[in-house]
A and B are shown apart, each in its own frame.
Chain A
Amino acid sequence: MRVEGGRASELRSLPGREPGRAHALVRDAAGTVYVAAQGGLFMAADDCDVLDRVDFDGGTPPPGEPVGVAVADSERIWLLTSSALYAVETRQFLWSELDVELPAPPYSALTARADGRIEVAHSGGAHVVALDALERPRLGEVRAVGRTPRADGAIALGFGESLEIAFEPAEGVRWMWRDATRFRWLPLEGAPARIEFARPGRQSVRVIAFDRALRRSPPVAFEVDVAYPETLEAKTLALLLGMPALAVMGGAVLLAWRRHRSLRATWKSFLGAALFCMVALQLTAAAIPHSKGWPFIGFSMYTRLSFRDSLSYRHEFVGLAPSGSWRPLAPPGGAYGKYENERALQPFIHDADGRRARFLAEWNAAHPNARLLGIADICRRRRMTPDGPVDIPRQVMFVHPEEAARALR
């Protein structure tokens, strides 16, 4: 049940994802409500009537029944279960057990104190933890093994070669990486760690360290330029495709000329051979899983599977007008509009080089009559159910400046 301005409305949960008994809830600055309940960690938002269970990164939730929750900052919450205290990152829902000394479980409640410390209630009383005293993660030296960047800063890789990354191992630090066009961080494992690239062309990679409290280090960027497969190099293509094609067309022309001694018949024969090569190439390209050979192209689009309870996402880039309303914006570099929003918003979500502040300053300088007080990325989400997609609470990927978050409530 939600009570707003004296009016009560019922929140519903989706079948198979019921919360059971709710133990605690907290609302962050942007208005997202986190509920620690018997059935797991749940989310609610003002503009949605669904109380939705959070799917944690990797699919496995933290062990134990959630009994307490508190806001850490705009990107993290503290989650107390009956057995341990965790940090949860609220954009990708990474989680990590905190490295703090606590009395023996079970625990029963979590309270955020005015002095910034948190209080964990247990069977023997209450224990206070100062989480801000934890040391921030150190990225240390990160380098690409055996590769020297070219003059343009990119590391050249052959097709199928992986980028090897070396870093200083550190206790409690989790190393992750992502393709700069994607939002999600992926684990970086092994020494040295290897990053594989499925497609050719220039790509950006970010490497980052998370500590146990899921605070992140500044990212290290690598630019890579993955060559086309050897089979697509000009010489090989000429040999494998060009020569046979020329042979087919040349043979057709010669045969037709010898047989008919007519320009018309020869032209027809040439066209027939050229069309044969075109069809053969189209069919060959259809078997290659990437699309760089356009107009000879593969057709692997829309092959990602979804199931019951899967999520769909839509990123909206919005600006806060002085009137207090949010207006849609187009992120720079997103010529295809909303299809490019996820890619174009990555520098903003991860705030590479103060991208948010720079955009706001540039916008206000260029639009003196349509100034903005803040910007945000609202990720609208839907969950697939047997009755169709259901709107679930939105995720606020970032708000800049943080005071603007209040306008999202």
Chain B
Amino acid sequence: MRFVEAWQRFWFRPAPLARLAAFRMLVMALVFVELRAYTPALLNGCRLAHSGAEGAQWNPIFLVSTLGLRPIAPELAEQILLVGGIAALCGLVGLFSNLSCAVAGLVLLFEAAMVYSFEKVHHEKVALAFTVLALPLGPIGARLSLDAWIAALVRKWRGAPEQGAASGLSEFARFPIRCTQVSLAIGYGCAGLSKLVLAGPRWANGYTLMSFLSEFDRPWSPWVAGGAVRMTIFSVFALTVQITFPLILLWPRLAWFFVPAVTVNHVVNWMTMDTGPYASLWILTLAFVPFERVPSWVRENLRSTSWFRRVLAVVAPLAPTALIGWLWFAHYLPPWSACIAVVLLAWSWRALARTQPTGIAAAS
């Protein structure tokens, strides 16, 4: 019984609705970008499969074969992706939040499963898959959404009283975020353990990582693959980060180390091994950030007398924002859409700063 109580406490301790809402926006933006990024692979696979061209491959993953899915016509795939994209945008701004997030999530799962059946399975969307399954089950539209804004208008029109500060917390606001956190912890932890179990400690001999990093010519390849000693240090670092990552669930403050560490790992892999950005994985590590506290934390540190804290207050929120912004708007989205992102970011920042309820620290 104690285990059940602890389990329920772990998932359902009251959390700020604003945090969940900000997380919804992040996930839906990510889903929108991922849908766009995978579109060519899906359409190419469907086109090849339907034309019967040589080089077409259809090796369905278990989920796809169990559901009896077959390669669909490219035209139908385009329509499904369009629906998914619109749903993700609706989810982003919080219009029919639960429904739109569910539709966008299902389209993403469909797209990933089909592409993996055409090509090979990758790991980058595992945490995102569980996130989009859990997200629509939570009160994701209660804050920072058109749903909430419309509901407030209706309340005002009816003359009903406004919601109080206490309602800024919900026991259902934590589990979708926890779901992401746990999936990430399982993913990183098992990836590290697999290396130790299947390859043994010799995985960190320097040459193994050097070999992976040297397969492609990327901007950082010569520097990173500079020698066996350097590679041994990187290998030990990567193994340590992966194996110890689940500790973040016990001590959330370790996010200060693990979130930048895995981001650096993935960026280095991208710039050396050409794995692609793997953004659907490391961007989700922001699930460990209590978004609603960020505006007040920045304000507080900017007022500090310590120059280190002032620099941290600027760098900590700006660095990931700049990295994600550069990644999305330089690679997957039209640059002009960055203006919309800035507006959404400013809006959510202001809303987060205003909606921070009292007693969050205790509740978190």
Q: Of A234, A271, A283, A299, which is within 8 A of B11 by CB? A: A271
Name the contact of B191 in the complex, choosing from A301, A305, A335, A344 (C-beta under 8 A): A301
B207 touches A308 (CB 8 A): yes
Stretch from B55-63, B95-103, B328-336, B355-363 forming part of the interface with A: B55-63
Q: Closest chain A residue to B222 by CB distance?
A: A388
Write out the residue numbers on chain B whose beta carbons fall within 8 Å of the beta carbon of A292: 61-62, 121
Question: Given the known A-B contacts A306-B210, A335-B45, A388-B225, are A293 and B62 also in contact in the complex, defined by CB atoms under 8 Å?
Answer: yes
Q: Which of A376-405 contact B (CB under 8 A)?
A: 382, 384-389
User: Is A305 in contact with B123, judged by CB distance below 8 angstroms?
Assistant: no
- A228 nearest in chain B by CB position: B62
Are B274 and A338 in contact, with the CB atoms below 8 A? yes
- Contact between chains at B54 and A310 (CB < 8 Å): no
Instruction: Choose one: B12, B187, B195, B211; the contact of A272 (CB below 8 Å).
Output: B12
Is B179 interfacial (CB 8 A cutoff)?
A: yes
Q: With an 8 A cutoff between CB atoms, is B8 at the interface? A: yes
The answer to whether residues A335 and B119 also contact, given A295-B126, A306-B208 and a CB cut-off of 8 A, is: yes
- A286–B186 touching, CB < 8 Å: yes
Chain A residue at smallest Cβ distance from B191: A299
Q: In the bound complex, how far is the Cα of B62 from the Cα of A234, in angstroms? A: 10
Give CA–CA (A404, B61) in the complex, Å: 41
- Cα-based distance from A298 to B7 in the complex (angstroms): 25
A354 to chain B, nearest CB (A): 12
Contact between B8 and A268, CB atoms less than 8 A apart: yes
List the A residue with the shortest CB-CB distance to B65. A228
Q: For residues 42 through 95 of chain B, which have their beta carbon under 8 Å from a beta carbon of chain A?
A: 44-45, 48, 53-63, 65-66
Within 8 A of B (CB), among A267-306: 268-269, 271-272, 275-276, 278-279, 282-283, 286, 291-295, 297-306
A363 at the interface (CB under 8 A from B): no
Residue of A nearest to B132 (CB): A295
Tell me if B214 and A298 are in contact (CB < 8 A).
no
Q: In the complex the two chains form, is B11's CB within 8 Å of A294's CB?
A: no
Contact present for A388 and B226 (CB under 8 Å): yes
Residues of A contacting B119 in the complex (Cβ-Cβ under 8 angstroms) = 335-336, 340
B54 touches A332 (CB 8 A): yes
Taking CB atoms, residues of chain B closer than 8 Å to A332 are: 48, 53-55
Q: In the complex, what's the smallest C-beta–C-beta distance from B235 to chain A, in angstroms?
A: 11
Please give, as numbers and ranges, the residues of chain B lying within 8 Å of A297 by CB-CB distance: 121, 123, 126
A residues with a Cβ closer than 8 A to B are 201-203, 228, 232, 234, 268-269, 271-272, 275-276, 278-279, 282-283, 286, 291-295, 297-308, 310-314, 331-336, 338, 340, 344, 347, 355, 382, 384-389
Which 7 interchain pairs have the tightest Cβ spacing?
Answer: A333-B55, A332-B55, A306-B211, A389-B214, A295-B129, A286-B190, A291-B121
On B, residues with C-beta under 8 Å from A are 4, 7-8, 11-12, 40-41, 44-45, 48, 53-63, 65-66, 109, 112-113, 115-116, 118-121, 123, 125-126, 129-130, 134, 137, 171-172, 175, 178-179, 182-183, 186-187, 190-191, 193-195, 198-200, 202-203, 205, 207-208, 210-217, 222, 225-229, 274
20 more CB-based (< 8 A) A-B contacts, given A303-B199, A386-B228: A268-B12, A271-B137, A282-B130, A282-B183, A286-B186, A291-B121, A294-B113, A294-B116, A295-B125, A297-B121, A299-B187, A302-B195, A305-B203, A305-B208, A306-B205, A314-B216, A334-B55, A338-B274, A388-B210, A388-B228
